[in-house]
Amino acid sequence: MSSPVMAAAGATVRIARRAGRFYAQVMKFRIRTVFTLLLLPGLAVLAPSCSDKKGAAAPASPAPAAAAVMGDLKPVTGPRPARLVWLEQEASDPALTKVFAHDASDGLGIRALTPTAADFAKPLLTHDGSAVVYTRLNGKANGDKMSWQPGIFLQTWTGAAQSLGSGMAVDVWRDPVSGTEYIYAADHLLTGPSARPAGEKLVRFSLTKPGEREIVWTATAFGVSQFQLSRDGRRAAGLFPFPKAGLADLTTQTFTSLAAGSWPAGASDDSYATAMLDGSRRRLRIFAPNLDPGWELTFQGVPGWPDGGLLHPRWSNDPGLMVFTGPYAEEDSAADLCLVRFREDLRGIDSTARLTTGRRALFPDLWVGGGDSGVTALPQQPVIVPKPAPRPWPVSESELSFAWDRAGRTDPLTKSPASLTPREFATWSRYSGMDLTNGWFEADPASAVSVASASAASNAWAMELILTERPAAPPVSVRLAALLSASGQEMFALYRTHRKLVLRVLLGGTPDRPAQVHPVVLTNLAIESDRPVHLVMSLRNNRLSCWLDGQMQKDFQLDSTGLAAWGPGSLSFGDPRPFGTPWSGSIDRVAMWSRALGDDEIRESAETALQWMETRTRVAAKKLKATLTDTAAPPAPLPDDLLNVSVFEVGQVLMGQVEGKRIGVASWSRLHGRDVPSTLPPPGQLGDLTLEAWDDHPELEAVPRATAPGAADLPLYFYPRFLRSKP
């Protein structure tokens, strides 16, 4: 069975982005071999578990003899023939690669199948292991984007390469009925960001008739870096496209999203199981049809396995075996070839083997004799119970006065605001919600009038929202949402005050009931970092209820009643003048009604929110000490929004995993037409940084970037600055 894509895209491609930026992976590593060692017949025998040595950094000089020796596969694969292919970077040019290979039975050791380096990508073994299919990208940089003219090649272990025409090969599959072997390929690559190439049309053709091509998928764009077919060819695991990881049904042209993850790989039997890496890159998450919510496999504690991350997981043609690269130390980017044998039910690890020491291997694919007859203990060709269709939101449009769920929506909701404008340095969040960390958002005046006038007439109001926060030490007081009169009077205002949610609501406004703001402590809400919380407040006359995640927290009887004092004003989210420790958080899916919501409606709304939350993942922060060495000159003319990509030398990693000793750090330099004050450490001084993986921020892909010299070839991270605080 073939492996998902591996590739290199040109000198501007950034390196080793663990969320799946496969072109960057290809371009950073150096070959640690010498030609005379490639023909060594001997193999070093390893224990069934991996060596406890960490991959060493690649030297500028040729590697020692051990680097060209492959470990014994038999403790994991058994006494079967085995072949392995992968990419390694050419030491003389970081943009070029060679295809490397090893046959466990021919005694020739590790050898380069492509003696001349080029921008090769994605070596895939045919069903019998007799030949290798790979792609030459022919990439060309166009500013911060790439265009490609890829070509596909077939090469036996001893013969010359044969051209199979244009396209990007993503998998090789043999029809179990006819015996015909097909190459699945993107017929072209979309011009776009170099780190995440995608195809638009998936075709297939037989090895013997490359000119006769059949279209097999056009439902969505798909990532060419991760694509692996089931044995029956009906399902494909991959990205459709990033960050939607899941399982595509090629017969019905439908896609089932499993999670936002990286490096999805599909089991090579007909269980339709999918594996992907979690955010730490130290665990595999396994998903199988009808077995929600899946499970995790960790390598920590496996005998002989040192602490470190994984990359490039690929199922071999035997569904019990997976090949990958690792272990990755925090300050290391070396990648050795490793192998794992799973339990038959895929719920545990039987054994592991570290096959090399000190290499810089990428994107391996493994073939073993007889692997095509192996199956897991999971049900084969299961009838997949489809996940429920997304629930409609809001749950009711009856007396709806305001509804907003995300930026960029092309089909406006009923009562959507005409505009929602970020102020100060507010930005959109990872999932296109309102990030209130560095500013606030204002709705158009008509939306404020709609909310106030409708509730004033009905003497009722309800609001639903999804709140995501990060803990902040006391004192903290920040306004989350507010409807203010023209004079600044609060008609309603929701606050986060340390561990409490507080609602201030204006009641009264009639001759017998003077208008007065009533503060209500809704609930003590402990903040779990980056965990979304569904919040509903419902008010009718003097009865107020508060609900969290579908559970009533409290029911209040207020001292006054009526909303007659509500009138024209402004509707905002976030606080122009927060107090105390800087607060970080975001709001999604805000709806308001001019009536109280029923209990069943609130529970249904919470279930809808939970379905929405299941597709979201948390960001893993990385803390380190680093020195700023280079920054970019601003372009002319200046765009309204601009990210500056600077170069940092990593001194010490304090938390998380950071690739390489030199990294690129993207930070805001302009927002909404204003210069952003820098909170980065001064140049030349070792300072503290808290970073997040660039791959965790797809909302930033379209933002213009000014890149420092040399930063384009480095691992890229995002600096989520707190503009209202010290760094």
Q: Domain locations in the chain?
A: 22-373, 400-613, 622-718
Whether pLDDT at 13 is above 50: no
Structure tokens at 185: 């390929």
Say which range, 42-46, 358-362, 470-474, has the weakest mean pLDDT: 42-46
Q: Tell me, what DSSP letter sits at residue 575?
A: -
- First and final CA of the chain: distance in angstroms? 49
Mean pLDDT of all residues in 31-36? 28
- According to DSSP, the residues that pair with 323 across neighbouring strands are 314, 339
Contacts of 234 (CB under 8 A, 6+ apart): 249, 250, 251, 270, 381
Q: pLDDT tens digits, residue range 194-250?
A: 667 889 999 999 999 999 999 999 999 999 988 999 999 999 999 998 778 889 999
8 A C-beta contact, residue 470 and residue 541: no
Q: Which of 72, 3, 103, 4 is nearest to 351 (CA)?
A: 72
CATH 1.20.1290.10 fits 22-373, yes or no: no
Q: pLDDT tens digits, residue range 111-149?
A: 999 989 999 999 999 999 999 999 999 988 877 678 899
Q: Count how many Cα atoms sit within 13 Å of the Cα of residue 490 in the half-sphere of its side chain.
A: 16
- According to DSSP, the residues that pair with 424 across neighbouring strands are 439
8 A C-beta contact, residue 364 and residue 3: yes
Q: pLDDT tens digits, residue range 522-559?
A: 988 767 677 899 999 999 999 999 999 999 999 999 99
Whether pLDDT at 44 is above 60: no
Whether pLDDT at 627 is above 70: yes
Going by their DSSP bridges, the two strands 584-593 and 622-630 should be labelled as unpaired
Q: Count how many Cα atoms sit within 13 Å of the Cα of residue 718 in the half-sphere of its side chain.
A: 20
The Cα 452–Cα 468 span in angstroms is 26
8 A C-beta contact, residue 235 and residue 250: yes
Match 């003696």 to its residue by tokens: 115
Provide the pLDDT confidence category of residue 579 given band limits of 50, 70 and 90: very high
Q: Which of 96, 76, 92 is nearest to 84 (CA)?
A: 76
Q: pLDDT tens digits, residue range 415-453?
A: 999 999 999 999 999 889 999 999 999 999 999 999 999
Structure tokens at 240: 């459709």
570-602 as b/e, with b when 16 or more CB fall inside 10 Å?
A: bbbbbbeebeebbbbbbbbbbbbbbbbbeeebb
8 A C-beta contact, residue 299 and residue 282: yes
Q: Which residue has the higher pLDDT, 56 or 507?
A: 507
The Cα 53–Cα 354 span in angstroms is 9
Q: What is the CATH number of domain 400-613?
A: 2.60.120.200
Helix (H) or strand (E) holding 121: strand 120-125
The Cα 664–Cα 712 span in angstroms is 8
The Cα 455–Cα 539 span in angstroms is 10
CB atoms within 10 A of CB 119: 24
